[in-house]
């Protein structure tokens, strides 16, 4: 079979395979690594595959169709998202018309609302972890016998049982990033170009807004052997001109024994590839931070999320995720010499103007290297979405309402005491208050005068952010 894997064109540098699906106000473009996994499995099964990342290639709908025709695909596996599903469905219909291929749609949105997703023009929904699902479809197995898919037959909806999560992640091939334009992926946070590596999948924590663990990877952390992870790091360094990697696990250091073993092996094998990772405030201590630094970690992304302990409880961050613990985590990483990118989310249940201002105040107190403020996105299938829907707080008519005209996150809910307009205003106020402080500007200039790569990427990010906050 000929199989094309596709991240479709939509809103310029739109990111689908991320936690907040949008065009980043600070400009970043991330690789669709899960498509890469499925492509590698199908390639190893003997199928002819290609992987087209239209946003990275900056190609139009017509140009994407032309590239698809070059592979004469039997199936096109399309990544979709909440805000883009209407556009993606229309494109699926064009693919069927112009190439004759069947379309298989993947991603958290399709997993959450498969019947609704099919109605936009796709042939099959592959729900949850779809690595092996695509292979099974391509092998000619009867659709009725394939776990984890939803489709229609003679007008009747067929919803097969869920596919079990993959337990032995070491059995998976490395993602087929050789098909991707790796030089195109960038962020002001990393050394560019960069790529993703997953040291594991899933998250044991219960945050109500995070779609990945609730819909795709599960409430539990399945990790690869450190030997397997380091082998991928060495392969990426040898074969591709990458300057850094981001471990895109929800929390790389959630298991102390595993993170210390990983750091030890990276050092022992002299991998010498800078890396960044996600952390929680309650998953780090001085020993972990120091080990990560020695192994090449230059930046961590921490979900501080709120400056109010009551809000952290409401979003179910966990008993040990407190403001006091946030201060400790920031100090551990600062003392180790690791930069911190902190994220804060506005609009969780119980949020008020006062609690948002506490979050802005905490960000300034922690004095992080980078911050990201966002209005929460209630993705279908999450506990947060269900809460808003149940209480009548949703204020949208169609999925595309999740974005504004620039492709940035648009609030699609409001509370009796907190309007959409107030959240939007506070979001821009937060960015202005944080990044336009004389102290921060002086520190940022000093950092960038000694780091040419950071200086170049920061110019693009800073210009984009300034355009966003001035509107």
The enclosing domain of 29 has a CATH number of 3.40.50.280
User: What was the pLDDT predicted at 190?
Assistant: 92
Structural domain harbouring 366: 189-432
When pLDDT is cut at 50, 70 and 90, the band that residue 463 belongs to is low
When pLDDT is cut at 50, 70 and 90, the band that residue 443 belongs to is confident
Do 275 and 239 fall within a single domain?
Answer: yes
Do 274 and 211 fall within a single domain?
Answer: yes
* Residue predicted with more confidence, 378 or 467: 378
Do 442 and 415 fall within a single domain?
Answer: no
CATH number for the domain spanning 203: value is 3.20.20.70
When pLDDT is cut at 50, 70 and 90, the band that residue 465 belongs to is low
Do 105 and 210 fall within a single domain?
Answer: no
DSSP 274-339: -EEEEE-TTS--HHHHHHHHHTTEEEEEEEEE-S-HHHHHHTT--TT--HHHHHHHHHHHHHHT-E
User: What was the pLDDT predicted at 348?
Assistant: 97
User: What was the pLDDT predicted at 381?
Assistant: 97
**Is 212 inside any structural domain?**
yes
Quick check: 145 pLDDT over 90?
Answer: yes
CA separation for the pair 32, 64 (Å, rounded): 16
Mean local confidence (pLDDT), 100-104: 98
CA separation for the pair 410, 33 (Å, rounded): 26
Helix (H, G, I), strand (E, B) or coil at 70: helix
**Is 145 inside any structural domain?**
yes
Q: Rounded to 5 degrees, what angle do the CA atoms 107, 371, 333 make?
A: 100
pLDDT 10s digits, 11-30: 888 999 888 898 877 678 99
User: What was the pLDDT predicted at 444?
Assistant: 80
Beta-strand relationship, 222-223 and 200-201: antiparallel
- Average model confidence (pLDDT) for the chain? 94
Do 313 and 214 fall within a single domain?
Answer: yes
What percentage of the chain carries pLDDT values higher than 90? 89
What percentage of the chain carries pLDDT values higher than 70? 95
Number of structural domains the chain divides into: 3
**Is 167 inside any structural domain?**
no
Beta-strand relationship, 244-247 and 275-279: parallel
User: What was the pLDDT predicted at 276?
Assistant: 98
pLDDT 10s digits, 220-254: 999 999 999 999 999 999 999 899 999 999 999 99
Do 66 and 152 fall within a single domain?
Answer: yes
Do 109 and 193 fall within a single domain?
Answer: no
User: What was the pLDDT predicted at 132?
Assistant: 98
**Is 184 inside any structural domain?**
no
Count the Cβ atoms, other than its own, within 10 Å of residue 204. 14
CA separation for the pair 95, 67 (Å, rounded): 11
When pLDDT is cut at 50, 70 and 90, the band that residue 445 belongs to is confident
Do 95 and 205 fall within a single domain?
Answer: no
How many Å separate Cα 108 from the centre of its chain?
11
**Is 65 inside any structural domain?**
yes
Q: What is the dihedral of CA 11, 16, 18, 20, to 10 degrees?
A: 60
Q: Specify the pTM.
A: 0.94
Mean local confidence (pLDDT), 382-398: 97
CA separation for the pair 303, 308 (Å, rounded): 13
Quick check: 68 pLDDT over 90?
Answer: yes
Mean local confidence (pLDDT), 175-202: 96
**Is 372 inside any structural domain?**
yes
pLDDT 10s digits, 308-337: 999 999 999 999 999 999 999 999 999 999
Do 417 and 443 fall within a single domain?
Answer: no
Quick check: 454 pLDDT over 90?
Answer: no
> HSE (CB half, 13 Å, CA atoms) of 265?
15
Distance from the first to the final alpha carbon of the chain: 49
Do 402 and 360 fall within a single domain?
Answer: yes
Do 117 and 217 fall within a single domain?
Answer: no
Count the Cβ atoms, other than its own, within 10 Å of residue 103. 24
Backbone angles phi, psi at 222, to 5 degrees: -100, 115
**Is 171 inside any structural domain?**
no
**Is 254 inside any structural domain?**
yes
Do 442 and 407 fall within a single domain?
Answer: no
């Amino acid at each position: 079979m000929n199989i094309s894997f596709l991240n479709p064109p939509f809103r310029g540098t739109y990111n689908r395979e991320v936690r907040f699906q949008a065009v980043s106000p600070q400009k970043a473009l991330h690789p669709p690594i899960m498509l890469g996994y499925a492509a590698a499995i199908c390639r190893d099964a003997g199928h002819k595959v290609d992987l087209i990342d239209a946003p990275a290639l900056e190609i139009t709908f017509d140009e994407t169709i032309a590239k698809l025709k070059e592979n004469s695909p039997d199936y096109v596996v399309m990544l979709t998202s909440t805000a883009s599903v209407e556009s993606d469905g229309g494109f699926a219909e064009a693919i069927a018309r112009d190439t004759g291929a069947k379309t298989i749609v993947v991603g958290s949105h399709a997993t959450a609302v498969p019947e609704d997703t099919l109605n936009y023009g796709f042939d099959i929904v592959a729900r949850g972890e779809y690595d092996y699902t695509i292979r099974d479809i391509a092998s000619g197995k009867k659709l009725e016998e394939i776990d984890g898919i939803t489709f229609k037959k003679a007008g009747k909806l067929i919803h097969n049982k869920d596919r079990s999560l993959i337990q032995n992640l070491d059995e998976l091939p490395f993602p087929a990033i050789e098909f991707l334009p790796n030089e195109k992926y960038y962020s002001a946070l990393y050394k560019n170009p960069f790529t993703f590596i997953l040291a594991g999948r899933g998250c044991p924590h219960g945050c109500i807004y995070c779609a990945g663990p609730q819909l795709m990877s599960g409430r539990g952390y399945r990790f690869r052997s450190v030997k397997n992870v380091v082998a991928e790091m060495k392969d990426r360094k040898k074969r591709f001109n990458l300057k850094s990697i981001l471990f895109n696990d929800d929390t790389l250091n959630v298991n102390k024994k595993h993170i210390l073993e990983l750091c030890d092996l990276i050092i022992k094998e002299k991998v010498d590839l800078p890396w960044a990772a996600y952390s929680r405030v309650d998953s780090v201590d001085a020993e972990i931070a120091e080990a990560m630094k020695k192994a090449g970690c230059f930046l961590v992304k921490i979900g501080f999320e709120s400056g109010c302990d009551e809000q952290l409880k409401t979003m179910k961050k966990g008993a040990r995720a407190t403001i006091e613990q946030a201060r400790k985590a920031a100090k551990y990483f600062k003392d180790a010499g690791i930069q911190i990118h902190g994220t804060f989310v506005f609009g969780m249940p119980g949020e008020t103007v006062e609690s948002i201002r506490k979050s802005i105040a905490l960000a300034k107190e922690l004095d992080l290297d980078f911050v990201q403020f966002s209005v929460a996105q209630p993705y279908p299938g999450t506990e947060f979405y269900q809460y808003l829907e149940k209480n009548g707080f949703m204020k949208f008519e169609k999925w595309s309402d999740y974005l504004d005209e620039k492709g940035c996150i648009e609030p699609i809910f409001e509370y009796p005491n907190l309007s959409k307009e107030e959240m939007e205003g506070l979001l821009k106020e937060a960015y202005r208050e944080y990044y336009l402080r004389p102290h921060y500007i002086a520190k940022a200039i000093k950092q960038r005068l000694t780091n040419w790569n950071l200086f170049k990427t920061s110019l693009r990010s800073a210009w984009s952010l300034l355009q966003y906050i001035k509107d």
